[in-house]
Amino acid sequence: MTVLVGFVPTAEGRAALTRAVDEARRMSTQLIVLDSGGGQSSELDAVVAEAEQSGVQVERRPIEHKKDPAEDIIAVSEKEGVDLIVIGLRRRTPVGKLILGSNAQRILLDAACPVLAVKADAAD
């Protein structure tokens, strides 16, 4: 069993990462973190260290296709036989979604496994 999360250094990315660690701990399974920040996030380092100390095995990988992270997330989930994908959602207007498209929507529609979509706290 494996949980997969795509991390970006935003409030939504932090919320998804926190929830993914919680889910991996609850399921007693491995966590794969796809890092779009280029491995330069002390925030990510701290969360990964805390997760590992609590017994969660964490594997960090860079996101390869910076222009299409949804493609990377779906590809890794299929290759690794992931049981759950955790993604962060940002609040956008319907017009914003129409004009800009949505990686989250692609993942929700195209992933072969369950997807947990997490919103950041309003205070973040």
Mean pLDDT along residues 99-116: 85
Is residue 32 in some structural domain? yes
Encoding tokens for residue 96?
């914003």
**Which CATH number does the domain housing residue 43 bear?**
3.40.50.620
Rounded average pLDDT over 40-58: 87
Report the relative pairing of strands 115-119 and 30-35 from DSSP bridges.
Answer: unpaired
User: 24 lies in a domain?
Assistant: yes
Work out the percent of the chain whose per-residue pLDDT is above 90. Answer: 48
Name the token pair of 81.
């036989």
Q: Give the C-alpha separation, 75 to 78, whole Å.
A: 5
Indicate whether 124 belongs to any domain: no
Give pLDDT, residue 1. 85
Q: Which amino acid is at 81?
A: G
Does a structural domain hold residue 15?
A: yes
> What does the pLDDT read at residue 120?
86
Region 97-110 average pLDDT: 76
Q: For a pLDDT cut of 70, what percent of the chain falls above it?
A: 84
The predicted-structure confidence for 88-99, as pLDDT tens digits, reads as follows 987 766 665 555
Q: What is the model's pTM?
A: 0.87
For residue 95, the model assigns a pLDDT of 61
> φ, ψ for residue 36 (rounded to 5)?
-90, -5
Domain count, the chain: 1
Mean pLDDT of 66-82: 89
Indicate whether 105 belongs to any domain. yes
Helix (H), strand (E) at residue 61: strand 58-62
CB-CB contact of 66 with 33 (8 Å) = no
Task: Report which of 46, 40, 49, 100 is spatially closest to residue 70, judged by C-alpha positions.
Answer: 100
Domain that holds residue 49: 2-119
Instruction: List phi, psi (to 5°) of 88.
Output: -95, 140
pLDDT score recorded for residue 101: 58
pLDDT in tens, 3-43: 999 988 888 988 999 999 999 999 999 999 998 876 667 87
Q: Which tokens hold the place of 9?
A: 């250094």
Rounded-to-integer distance, Cα 38 and Cα 18, Å: 19
